[in-house]
């Protein structure tokens, strides 16, 4: 007999907040509002909560770690280095294996676009509104 521990509500909230961070702070810097809307409709990172995740304690930690690592790699502008590209790919693979669709290559996060033109975007949150 094997005992499996379910994810906690705190872990589920943390995952939800990290996914929200991608949609409000990461994606708008690299993609148009139209693109981000498409990502949402296509349920990337299970933003709509439609896909049933396995929900074990271990898997939740893996998802949280992978999302945090991807955020760090993207925000640190380290994806130009080969070793960080490999780390990026490994964390994307982990997310995919755990049921979260993240179909983006590291190249898509190498150059930020001028998102100031979309200051009224529904995805961009004002500073201080996001709790991680």
What's the predicted TM-score (pTM) here? 0.81
The residues near 100 (Cβ < 8 Å, ≥ 6 apart) are 45, 46, 51, 53, 63
pLDDT digits (tens, 9 = 90+) for 35-88: 999 999 999 998 877 666 667 888 999 999 999 999 999 999 888 888 999 999
Rounded CA separation 28/126 (Å): 12
pLDDT digits (tens, 9 = 90+) for 4-23: 677 788 988 999 999 999 99
pLDDT digits (tens, 9 = 90+) for 83-107: 999 999 999 999 999 989 999 999 9
- DSSP letter at 125 equals P
3-state secondary structure of 56: strand
pLDDT band at 126 (very low <50, low <70, confident <90, very high): low
> 130 or 83: whose pLDDT is higher?
83
Kindly report the length of the chain.
132
Contact of 38 with 66, CB cutoff 8 Å: no
Measured over the CA atoms of residue 25, residue 101, residue 88 and residue 104, the dihedral's sign is negative
Nearest Cα to 44, choosing from 100, 1, 121?
A: 100
């Amino acid at each position: 007999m094997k005992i499996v521990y379910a994810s906690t509500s705190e872990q589920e909230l943390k995952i939800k907040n990290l996914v929200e961070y991608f949609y409000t702070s990461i994606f708008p810097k690299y993609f148009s509002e139209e693109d981000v809307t498409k990502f949402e409709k296509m349920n990337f990172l299970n933003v709509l909560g439609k896909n049933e995740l396995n929900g074990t304690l271990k898997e939740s930690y893996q998802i949280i770690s992978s999302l945090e690592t991807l955020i760090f790699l993207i925000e640190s502008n380290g994806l130009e280095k080969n070793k960080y590209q490999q780390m990026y790919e490994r964390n994307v693979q982990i997310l995919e294996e755990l049921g979260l669709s993240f179909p983006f290559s590291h190249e898509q996060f190498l150059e930020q676009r001028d998102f100031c033109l979309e200051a009224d975007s529904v995805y961009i949150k004002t500073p201080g509104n996001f709790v991680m």
